[in-house]
Amino acid sequence: ILPYFSSVGQFYFLIRKRIHLRPEDALFFFVNNTIPPTSATMGQLYEDNHEEDYFLYVAYSDESVYGK
């Protein structure tokens, strides 16, 4: 869904927008149980972490910053 050279930060922005996440909700991505740096490119993330089936699996979690 993103070009190879897009940053992880841009991916965060796109997903927040697509799932209509409220501003008070935090969003976390995990790749191989690690939170990737927002400055990394999606291409770097893919090259370093794709599975044998050539897919990059990204898990996510959201949490309300105000505990609601």
- Number of domains observed in the structure of the chain: 1
For residue 2, the model assigns a pLDDT of 80
Domain assignment of residue 60, yes or no: yes
Can you give the CATH number for the domain in which 16 is found?
A: 3.10.20.90
Domain assignment of residue 1, yes or no: no
26-42 tens-digit pLDDT: 999 999 999 999 999 99
Element (H, E) at 64: strand 59-64
Domain assignment of residue 27, yes or no: yes
Domain assignment of residue 32, yes or no: yes
The domain in which residue 44 lies consists of: 8-64
The verdict on pTM exceeding 0.85 is no
For the record, the structure tokens of 24 come out as 């008070």
Q: Which amino acid is at 24?
A: E
- Tell me how long the chain is: 68
Q: Within 13 Å of residue 8, how many CA atoms lie on the same side as its CB? A: 18
Domain assignment of residue 29, yes or no: yes
Give the closest residue to 37 by CA, choosing from 11, 1, 17, 4. 11
